[in-house]
Amino acid sequence: MIEFHLNTRSGVSPYLQIVHQVRQALRLGLLREGDQLPTVKEVVARLAINPNTVLKAYRELEHEDLVGARPGIGTFVTKALSDAPLAEFRPLRHDLQRWLVKARRAGLDDESIEALFLDTFRSSAEAGVA
């Protein structure tokens, strides 16, 4: 079972934070097929958030076919997000490390690297590349 947390300063809406945390847990292998998500009541009693926020997040995850609701029992993981956990993407990680070394050599500080990455990520997502 995983536990959700809420970052109220991130500007990301609470329901999306829950969606992201489930996806992240799936990617990291913390959640596997058949695992149960916390019940809506458990989540709201812990985070003091509106039940609809949790329901909306779970519906979204259902829509993505990542989880399925079993009425009266709870919500369960139906599919692993990726066939391979993150650890298996070693070559990609290696590329990224090399890129980071280059960026530092070019004189970029951490903040600029992050901004450059996010900016590139967003524009390629908008262009439909990613």
Partner 1 sequence: MTPAVETTGLGKRYGRHWALSDCTLAIPTGRVVGLVGPNGAGKTTLLSLAVGLLSPTSGSITVLGAEPAATGRQMERVGFVAQDTQLYSTLSVADHLRFGAHMNPGWDNDLAQRRLEQLDLDIGQRAGSLSGGQRAQVALTLAIAKRPELLILDEPVASLDPLARREFLQVLMEIVAESEVGVVLSSHLVADLERVCDYLIVLVSSRVQVDGEIEKLLASHRHLIGPRRDPSSLPKNQQVIEASETDRQSTFLVRTEDPILDPAWTVEEVGLEDLVLAYMRRAPLAKRVRLASPDVEP
CB 14 within 8 A of CB 4: no
What the block records as the tokens of 4 is 């959700």
Interface with partner 1, residue 123, by CB under 8 A: no
The letter for the amino acid at 128 is G
Please count the other Cβ atoms lying within 10 Å of the Cβ belonging to residue 87: 9
From residue 97, give the alpha-carbon distance in Å to each of 92, 104, 114, 118, 127: 9, 11, 14, 16, 25
Interface with partner 1, residue 44, by CB under 8 A: yes
- Residues within window 55-84 making contact with partner 1, judged by CB under 8 A: none
# chain residues binding partner 1, by CB under 8 A: 17
Interface with partner 1, residue 40, by CB under 8 A: yes
From 22, 31, 47, 61, residue interacting with partner 1 (rule: CB under 8 A): 47
Interface with partner 1, residue 52, by CB under 8 A: yes
- Judged by the rule CB under 8 A, the positions of this chain that interact with partner 1 are 6, 8, 11, 13-14, 40-41, 44-53
